[in-house]
Amino acid sequence: MKSSPVSFKNIPTIFDIKAGYPAVKGLFFDMDGTLFNTEPIHTRALLKIGEKYQIKPPYPAEVVHHLMVGKADHMLFDMIQHWEGMPKNWEVHDFVKEKNKNVVDLIINTPVSDYLYEEMSTLIKNAYDEGFFIALVTSSEKIVTEEILRISGLAQFFHLILTRDDCPKHKPDPWPYLKAIELSNLQSHQIVIFEDSNVGLEAAVSSAPHVIKVEWF
């Protein structure tokens, strides 16, 4: 039987995790909206495409942001491909290439402190020092994931990184998390998954009994 996620409004410490989940040996993180406050960057990347190609969303920017949260790029493309001004010859890979270029540019030119909270950095480093298996399971592409981990200085603390490019099925399908559990050599009850979006939460609760619903951004 699936258990319901537990909501956290504040980033926990490693002591909170050990006290609340004494049998847990692995922490699995979603990236955008969970590990990093990067959902606004993805919205800005999309709006930059709109400016370049004179695309006119049928909604104001704040509504566009709300609609984007938690959606993989192929889902986002399905949503916007009929907006006024979208290049008619674009396929999903054209859109993803353009958006990812903007995301990387924005990440490079945005202070790390704007999207990485000190408490999260501390949690990752302390968990690593305590011997936890740390995994990143994201629907973002490898080029974006590697760049933000490099710039943030967190890459070295992850034992496993699964991106959209590594998975034949994507959230809300549980495949990415089930594969990460398999590769970790841990049992599902030994893992806590951190997720923020409905899509990610659906994948998480189908994979492991301990799921934290992120509400700190």
User: What is the mean pLDDT of each successive set of 10 residues along the chain, which is 217 residues long?
Assistant: 88 98 98 95 90 89 82 84 90 93 96 97 98 97 96 98 96 97 97 96 96 97
Kindly state whether residues 191 and 129 are assigned to the same domain: yes
**Is 54 in the same domain as 99?**
yes
pLDDT at 15: 98
Quick one: CA dihedral 61, 99, 11, 175, positive or negative? Answer: positive
Q: pLDDT value at position 136? A: 98
Q: H/E element holding 48?
A: helix 39-53
- Comparing CA positions, the residue from 162, 179, 175 lying closest to residue 203 is 175
My answer on whether 49 and 17 are in the same domain is no
122 with 147, same domain? yes
Among 108, 124, 146, where does a domain finish? 108
Task: Please check whether residue 53 lies inside any domain of the structure.
Answer: yes
Dihedral sign, Cα of residue 184, residue 176, residue 165, residue 110: negative
Give the DSSP letter of residue 58: S
Instruction: Give me the pLDDT at residue 1, please.
Output: 53
Instruction: Tell me, yes or no, whether 120 and 61 share the same domain.
Output: no
Radius of gyration of the chain (CA): 17
1 found inside a domain: no
Q: Both ends of the chain: CA-CA distance in Å?
A: 29
Q: How far is it, in rounded angstroms, from Cα 173 to Cα 93?
A: 21
pLDDT at 46: 87
92, 108, 124 — which closes off a domain?
108
CATH number for the domain spanning 140: value is 3.40.50.1000
Q: Which domain holds residue 45?
A: 39-108
Count of the separate structural domains present in the chain: 2
pLDDT for the residue numbered 61: 82
pLDDT reported for residue 166 = 97
Between helix 92-108 and helix 142-152 the angle, nearest 10°, is 10
Contacts 24+ apart (CB under 8 A), 67-72: 68/39, 68/42, 68/43, 69/33, 69/39, 69/196, 69/197, 70/33, 70/196, 70/197, 70/198, 70/199, 70/200, 71/197, 71/199, 72/139, 72/164, 72/170, 72/171, 72/199
* Residue written as token pair 């974006």: 144
Note whether 207 and 135 are within 8 A (CB): no
Residue 199 sits in the same domain as residue 129: yes
| pLDDT of the residue at 164 | 94
Distances (CA, A) of 97 to 25, 31, 162: 36, 19, 19
- CA-nearest of 164, 1, 174 to 93 is 164
Predicted structure pTM score: 0.91
